[in-house]
Amino acid sequence: MELLIFYPLALVSVILALFVVFNKSPIGSAVCLIGMMLGLAGVFILLQAHFLAILQIIVYAGAIMVLFMFVIMLLNLKDDDTKWKIRERNIFLSSATGVLIVGILYKIIDVTTDTKFDSPATVPDNFGTVEVVGTALFTDFVLPFEVASILLLAAMVGAVVLAKSKVD
Amino acid sequence: MIDDILNFLDPYWWLIIGVVKAVIIAVGLLSTVPLLVWLERRLMGRFQVRLGPNRVGPLGLGQALADAIKLLFKENIVQSSADKFLFYLAPAVVVFTAIVTFSAIPFGEPFEVGGESIGLWGANLNIGLLFIFAVSSMGIYGIVLAGLSSNNKYSLMGGLRSSAQMISYELTLGLSALCVVLMSGSLNLYDIVKSQSDMPYAIPLFPAFVLFFIAGVAETNRAPFDLPEAEQELVAGFFTEYSGMKFAMFFMGEYINMITMSALITILFLGGWNSYIGFDIPILVFAFKVFLLLCVFIWLRSTFPRIRYDRLMTFGWKILLPTSLVTMLAYSAIKVLVIDA
């Protein structure tokens, strides 16, 4: 039953992810990216992580992609600008990245081949609820959480400083 | 034969109930829209000391039907410079997100049919409130895409304004809703209504209620915050290039969002289906409260002039957002120091 939902979701996500890369116009790429993130949220729901799925939609598909759209709108692209320009590629960097990705994929497949999918892991009833995630965030992971929030604050202040110096 | 069918369907009973509910919600919402348009035109007429549409059918009710038929049969124009796919996608996104948002709203106690308990909601989610915010924030894309794909400067400006406005006021909306979550200790809309059985949150959380209402009006792009479609500057805003049924879909999206926002305010602040005066038909109580709020929306539209765009952003970021932050902090302090202590 779960596989019946998982495969269409995964297929659509992968296809949309490919379209993000191969689409000719930036707007099309952005729309495909939104679709792919919604697909990922669906996969999170299948993993019983409902809260994470909703956050994925609110933060990534909602907030961040709206900013992307904003930038595309504000750039006021001319007709020939709406097509991606193909630049000279650094062959060494490209191939190094490719090898790294293949390595990571190989490792992931290697790890998961031993897992038995016919007996799904039992998860506790309150797994992935707001309460459990919140408790974990403010007890076990409070240091990374605070560090991340300080990083975000610094980024915000930096953005304000950059915008200000242009206005003055 | 019938027994066989029943036996086969038995394990999928929940699926059938879900489908029936989905159809009822979608059809119910879509057929409420013409009535709401009629109500708005009649009320606006009265507010402006005129009669409003009263010629077609009894009380002018036929006007709603006539308008719907007219829009269905109008010619569908797509200008050649438009991005076809996105142009068609945009109105669909608006209506889809509007209807899906409503599916998480409960409007009564569950009742029993043949030993099965059927809830009066599309889905009773533990994170119902977050779900509603998440899906309604997807609705912005409909407007952005309409503005982008039309290839028209008025549409682009309308889409830009609209998305900027919705992003700004979403913060206030979320922060004032957090006050309710603080007090009830749950994100589940059904539990939130249950926790208001003694008193609606509009009384103890009055500042949050006012903030939520203002942000809610702005979020649904209604007057006096209907900048995206300011006629004298932007023709018709993001749907300038749309005609016929696709234009009607943007219209439907706006009115369904209005209904959803009224239902959400009812649940969060007005106590949902609790009547407090001993009237005991939950669904009617809920419908009455939603109807009242819809009338207030229409009242606002016919009373206030549209505010200027820069004032709108200043108001959102410099007044509403700090106020809602302070309100949220104050209620958190009260919750920790007074209620829990």
- Measure the CA–CA gap between B221 and B204, rounded to whole angstroms: 28
Report phi then psi at B328, rounded to 5: -65, -45
Secondary-structure class of domain A2-128 per CATH: mainly alpha
- At B243-288, the pLDDT tens digits run 778 888 888 888 898 999 999 999 888 888 888 787 778 888 888 8
How sure is the predictor about A59, in pLDDT bands with cuts at 50, 70 and 90? confident
Gyration radius from chain B CA atoms: 21
Number of C-beta neighbours around residue A46 at 10 A: 14
How sure is the predictor about A45, in pLDDT bands with cuts at 50, 70 and 90? confident
- Selecting from A27, A58, A63 the residue whose C-beta is nearest the C-beta of B130 gives A58
Q: What is the pLDDT, as a whole number, of residue A146?
A: 92
On whether any CB of chain B is under 8 Å from the CB of A59, the answer is no
- Measure the CA–CA gap between B302 and B227, rounded to whole angstroms: 15
Rounded to two decimals, what is the model's pTM?
A: 0.83
Q: What is the pLDDT, as a whole number, of residue A102?
A: 93
CA separation, residue A105 to residues A99, A109, B8, B339 (Å): 10, 6, 43, 52
On whether any CB of chain B is under 8 Å from the CB of A69, the answer is yes
Residues of A in Cβ contact (< 8 Å) with B138: 57, 61-62
Report phi then psi at B118, rounded to 5: -110, 120
- Selecting from B86, B126, B137 the residue whose C-beta is nearest the C-beta of A31 gives B86
Can you say whether the dihedral through the CA atoms of B317, B318, B322, B323 is positive or negative?
A: negative
- With beta carbons less than 8 A apart as the criterion, state whether B175 and B219 touch: no
Can you say whether the dihedral through the CA atoms of B167, B173, B176, B178 is positive or negative?
A: negative
- Which residues from B are below 8 Å from A when comparing CB atoms? 83, 86, 89, 125-127, 130-131, 133-135, 137-138, 140-141, 144-145, 147-149, 156, 159-160, 163-164, 167, 187
State chain B's mean pLDDT as an integer: 83
- Please provide the DSSP assignment of A50-106 as one string: HHHHHHIIIIIIIIIHHHHHHHHHHHT--GGGGSPPPPPP-HHHHHHHHHHHHHHHH
pLDDT > 70 fraction of chain B, expressed in percent and rounded: 96
- With beta carbons less than 8 A apart as the criterion, state whether B9 and B114 touch: no
Chosen for mutation from B89, B100, B138, B143 (greatest number of chain A CBs closer than 10 Å) is B138
Assess whether pLDDT exceeds 60 at residue A82.
no
Assess whether pLDDT exceeds 70 at residue A83.
no
Residues of A in Cβ contact (< 8 Å) with B15: none
Assess whether pLDDT exceeds 80 at residue B299.
yes
Crossing angle of helices B128-149/B84-102, nearest 10°? 160
Sequence ranges of the domains in chain A: 2-128, 129-168
Q: What is the pLDDT, as a whole number, of residue B314?
A: 87
Mean pLDDT of B2-7: 76
On whether any CB of chain B is under 8 Å from the CB of A66, the answer is yes
- With beta carbons less than 8 A apart as the criterion, state whether B129 and B269 touch: no
- Selecting from A27, A28, A70 the residue whose C-beta is nearest the C-beta of B163 gives A70
- At B35-80, the pLDDT tens digits run 888 888 888 888 888 887 888 878 878 888 888 888 888 887 777 7
Sequence ranges of the domains in chain B: 74-339
Assess whether pLDDT exceeds 60 at residue A120.
no
How is residue B119 annotated by DSSP? -
- Measure the CA–CA gap between B257 and B236, rounded to whole angstroms: 19
